Amino acid sequence: MSDAPFLPLFPQLTPILSNVTALDFETTGVSGSKGRVIEIAAIKSAYGKIIGRFHTLVKLKGELPQKITQITGITSEDLVNAMEERTAFSILREFIGDSTVVAHNAPFDLGFLYSTYRRLKLPPAHHPFLDTLSVCRLRQPSPRSLPDMCQVYGIPLTRWHRALPDATATWHLLHRLHEESPLDDMRNKLVLNPRYGTPFWLPPLAEVLSPSPVPPSPQEVTLPHSGKFPEEDQTRP
């Protein structure tokens, strides 16, 4: 019997892709409990076909750090007439429904999601998730930021640090990774960076894997990672 991995003839039809929502937030910081979401993008698909999008700026009570404007291009003026936070997250919660949330560094986005649910006293939810960063940690050498992985897998990324382009790129990355090797066994799985140890908070359904490390690439030594926030950061809601 062959030891080659099973590759489905129609990978978009396998269960993991039957009901997914690619999610990305732009935020005021890295802490889900202290920061706030200022932009939401969610792309919902069924069996590889996009069936809905939700994208909005979110009104911010308080000052927007200048650093965030420099990173995202979002200004305080942009948020004056943005959607109210409660409205935005109520819509998002309904939009996600029972789908699997897909994000690149899922603990970051889920940390903000659950912290906001709790702070706004919205009904609790434990969304199943798939972390594309964890998959990339199993398959690719560092660096593994979203732009790095888009370059590796030939995915256009028109504008980094904005929620809709990032969510769109994450959706495409999900499918590229699944075509490479099925992801059905990666739902609710996390691969952590051993340099940072176990974070104070993990998504409720998370199961931490301990894989054999992928050898570092030469770039890891010569090209330090820079990005929206450290790709290895784990949120503490």
Distance of CA 94 to the CA centre of its chain: 18
Q: What average pLDDT does the segment 146-172 reach?
A: 94
Helix, strand or coil for residue 143?
coil
In this predicted model, which residue has the larger pLDDT, 51 or 5?
Answer: 51
Helix, strand or coil for residue 190?
strand
Global pTM reads 0.84
* CATH architecture entry for 11-222: 2-Layer Sandwich (3.30)
- How confident is the model at residue 159, as a pLDDT? 82
Measured N-to-C along each axis, helices 146-153 and 163-180 cross at an angle, to the nearest 10 degrees, of 50
What element of type H or E holds 220?
helix 218-222
Which of 161, 172, 175, 178 is catalytic? The answer is 161
161 classed as catalytic: yes
Residue 161: burial class (beta carbons within 10 Å; 0-12, 13-18, 19+): buried
- How confident is the model at residue 24, as a pLDDT? 98
- From the list 176, 166, 175, the residue with the least C-alpha distance to 146 is 166
Give tens-digit pLDDT for 101-153: 999 999 999 999 999 999 999 998 999 999 999 999 999 999 999 999 999 99
Q: What average pLDDT does the segment 194-209 reach?
A: 89
Helix H, strand E, coil C: the string for 28-95 is CCCCCCCCCEEEEEEEEEECCEEEEEEEEEECCCCCCCHHHHHHHCCCHHHHHCCECHHHHHHHHHHH
The 8-class DSSP code of residue 145 comes to -
Q: Which two tokens stand for residue 213?
A: 């490390």
- How confident is the model at residue 15, as a pLDDT? 82
- How confident is the model at residue 107, as a pLDDT? 96
What's the whole-number average pLDDT of the chain? Answer: 86
The 8-class DSSP code of residue 9 comes to S
Q: What average pLDDT does the segment 201-213 reach?
A: 84
- How confident is the model at residue 99, as a pLDDT? 97
